[in-house]
Structures are given as C-alpha cells and as structure tokens.
C-alpha cells in the first residue's frame, strides 16, 4: 500500500528537517491543486498557539498526558498514555464488527493533502505515519466520547480504564478545594472499606499475616477519611451552599478510584477485569459506592441543611436521592454482569483464570 519509507519518529517533536519529505509533501500539494480539489478552499482550522500566549503558560498549551493529532503525538513523555489511546482505539474497532484500521488508513490516503492543509504548522511526518495517527486518534476520540458521555451503565461509575488519565488523571476536582476534599472523603472511605473486606477474606481463608497487613492499611485509611470528612464538615458550616453544590457536582462527575491506571503489560482491560472480580467477591462493589454516599450524606447532615439558595436546594435533593438511584442501577447491572461472566487470566497469579 505504501512505499517503504523510513519512519523517523524522533524528528517530529524536535522539528528537525527532512528535506526529501518536505519536497515530497510540497510536490503532492501542488499536484493536488491541479486536480478537482483546489487547496485554497481548505481553510486552516488547526492553529498553533501564538508565541505570546505560549510564553506565559507553556504547560497550559502543551499536552501533558495525551495528545490528539500530529503536533505532539510522538513526544516521548506522552508515550505512557499512547498505550491507553491504543487500548481505547482497539475497543472502538472491536465494537465495530467490520471495521479495520488498515481500511481506514487506505481511505484516508486520498485525503492526505487536505489533512495537511488544515494544519497551521508544517507537519514533518511521512504519509504513512500521519494517516495512522489520524486513524488511531479519530477512533480513540469517538470511543472516548462515547464512553465518557454514555452514562447509565454502572461500569462507568468505577471502571473507566484510562479515561481519567486522558483527563489529566484529574479526579475532576478542578483545583477546587471543595471538590478536592469531597473527593478525598469519598475515596478514603472507599479504600478503608475495600482493604477491610480484603482483610476479612484473608482471615477467612487462613492468611493471618495478609489479614493483619490489610487491616493496618484499612485503619490508616479510616484516619484519612476522618480528617477529610472533618474538613468538609467545616466547609458545610461556613458555606453550606457552596459545599452542597460541590458535592452534587462531584457526584454527577462520579468518583473513580486511582487504581484504574494499573497495567501488567499484558491485559489492556486489567482494571476492568480486576474490579469485576472485586465486585463479585464483595471487596468493593457498586453497593459500597451507594453506601459511602449515604454515609457521607448522614455524616454531613445534608438532609437537614437550611438557608440554601434554590440551586442549593436542587443539589440537596439530587444528592439525597442518589444512593437509591445507584442501587437500582446496580441491581440491573448485576444481572447483566452474570450473563456476561467469562474467565480471565491474571498475570500476578501466574496466568490462572478467574471468573470476571
Ligand atoms: Fe488514604
């Protein structure tokens, strides 16, 4: 399909210049203009950040975790998340039965000159590299938006493999201390519960040392929970309206656990499989998620807050009704999960298969 060309990945981010590639691209652009698609009809739509802005906050205008498109794609510091991008692109392919990346790349060939024309900056990539970036990134974006905005599945409450990493690994607290302390209150209680449950399992199965270790961690997490919930209690005291709005906001975005980034170099859906097993064994479940919220609502006396604005009242109603709604979703999801159960090998127990 493509003539064999050397793929010089290191040149892109450093903008070192490949003359033959440049001549090749310019020649193609000129030839394309003679055909039916005059390039002046293709407006530049993907601009570089003006230097003046770049000088003020370089990091704000440079991808820190994941890149989309050819400008930053091959930067070594983003390689870590390229894996997640590929995982998500692969999911897109698996969900679309007849879809093949090679076919898409082939179709994009006729658009190559137009694609380049959309970019403000000269793209120092060869044809094959550029088209593969387009194919992977577009599949990734479609699947990402589908999952991120496809609410209603209980999996999205706890199992978003890599998606938060894409969102700068941000638990969606937006540098807002209200959201930050609400998130940590929830998350510390979740880890307290899951380690406590693991300790119980270990004890039941006769591994007393492991039970002791998990118990110690659980006790530690409990102390963290106490600290953070006290801070939020104080926030409710001094700014009930702002805090209830923050709590509702955080719960709408859903709380995801930091472990979603784990990877063993083998299983692209490792966290998904791991959390399915954790759910089945009762280590950390969607019921726990609802229980934690119910606990915090009671801990912070959310139901009896008074003097709220109309927005605050709405947020209060939303938060107080949410545990019951999560439980309903959970019941439906449990039924579906049973039907979809399959055996999955886990590398850390030497490939032994576990029902997930
Ligand atoms: Fe902790």
Distance 48 CA to ligand 1 centre (A): 41
**d(Cα 208, Cα 158) in Å, to the nearest integer?**
29
Cα-to-centroid distance, 189 and ligand 1 (Å): 8
How many angstroms separate the alpha carbon of residue 229 from the centre of ligand 1?
12
Q: Would you state the pLDDT for residue 152?
A: 40
Tokens of 278: 């954790």
CA–centroid distance, residue 188 to ligand 1 (Å): 5
Quick one: pLDDT at residue 13? 45
Q: How many residues does the chain have?
A: 356
Alpha carbon 321 to chain centroid, angstroms: 26
CA 114–ligand 1 middle distance (angstroms) = 51
Please list the ranges in the chain whose pLDDT falls under 50.
Answer: 1-15, 151-169
Ligand 1 centroid, distance to 324 Cα (angstroms): 27
Per-residue confidence (pLDDT) for residue 124, from 0 to 100? 83
- The pLDDT assigned to 99 comes to 80
Cα distances (angstroms) measured from residue 286 to each of 150, 182, 258, 329: 18, 18, 16, 9
CA distance 189 to 307: 29
Tell me which residue of 128, 129, 130, 124 sits closest to 19, measured CA to CA. Answer: 124
The pLDDT value recorded for residue 276 is 87
Ligand 1 center to 243 CA (angstroms)? 22
DSSP string covering 76-139: GGGHHHHHHHHHHHHHHHHHSTT--HHHHHHHHGGGHHHHHHHBSS-----HHHHHHHHHHHHH
Cα–Cα–Cα angle for 262, 265, 266, rounded to 5 degrees: 105
Ligand 1 centroid from CA 219, angstroms: 10
pLDDT for the residue numbered 216: 97
57, 51 contact by CB (below 8 A): no
Ligand 1 centroid distance, CA of 83 (Å): 28
Furthest-apart CA atoms within the chain: distance in Å? 78
**Integer-rounded Cα radius of gyration of the chain:** 25
Residue 65 Cα, ligand 1 centroid: separation in angstroms? 24
Determine how many CB atoms are found less than 10 A away from the CB of residue 335. 9
Residues 6 or more apart whose CB falls under 8 angstroms from that of 326 comprise: 154, 157, 286, 289, 290, 293
The pLDDT tens digits of the residues spanning 220-279 come to 999 999 999 999 999 999 999 999 999 999 998 887 766 666 777 778 788 888 888 998
Pull the structure tokens for residue 221.
Answer: 């997490």
């Amino acid at each position: 399909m493509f003539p064999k060309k050397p793929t010089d990945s290191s040149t892109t981010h450093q903008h070192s210049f490949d003359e033959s590639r440049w001549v090749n691209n310019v020649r193609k652009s000129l030839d394309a203009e003679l055909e039916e698609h005059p390039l002046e009809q293709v407006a530049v739509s993907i601009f570089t950040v003006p230097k003046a802005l770049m000088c003020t906050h370089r990091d704000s205008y440079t991808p820190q975790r994941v890149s989309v498109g050819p400008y930053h794609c091959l930067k070594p510091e983003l390689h870590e998340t390229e894996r997640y991008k590929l995982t998500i692109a692969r999911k897109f392919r698996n969900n679309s039965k007849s879809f093949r990346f090679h076919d898409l790349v082939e179709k994009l060939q006729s658009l190559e000159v137009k694609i380049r024309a959309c970019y403000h900056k000269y793209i120092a990539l060869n044809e094959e590299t550029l088209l593969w970036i387009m194919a992977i990134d577009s599949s990734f974006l479609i699947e990402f938006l589908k999952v991120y905005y496809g609410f209603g599945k209980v999996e999205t409450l706890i199992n978003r493999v890599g998606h938060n990493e894409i969102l700068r690994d941000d638990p969606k607290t937006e540098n807002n201390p209200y959201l930050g302390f609400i998130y940590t209150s929830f998350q510390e209680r979740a880890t307290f519960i899951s380690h406590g449950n693991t300790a119980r399992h270990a004890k039941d199965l006769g591994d007393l040392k492991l039970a002791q270790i998990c118990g110690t961690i659980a006790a530690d997490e409990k102390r963290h929970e106490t600290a953070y919930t006290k801070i939020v209690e104080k926030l409710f005291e001094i700014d009930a309206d702002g805090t209830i709005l923050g709590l509702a906001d955080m719960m709408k975005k859903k709380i995801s656990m930091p472990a979603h980034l784990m990877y063993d170099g083998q299983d692209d859906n490792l966290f998904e499989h791991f959390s399915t097993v954790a759910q089945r064994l009762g280590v950390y479940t969607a019921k726990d998620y609802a229980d934690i919220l119910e606990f915090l609502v009671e801990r912070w006396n959310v139901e009896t807050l008074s003097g709220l604005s109309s927005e605050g009242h709405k947020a209060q109603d939303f938060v107080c009704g949410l545990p019951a709604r999560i439980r309903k979703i959970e019941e439906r999801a449990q039924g579906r999960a049973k039907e979809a159960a399959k055996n999955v090998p886990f590398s850390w127990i030497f490939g032994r298969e576990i029902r997930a």
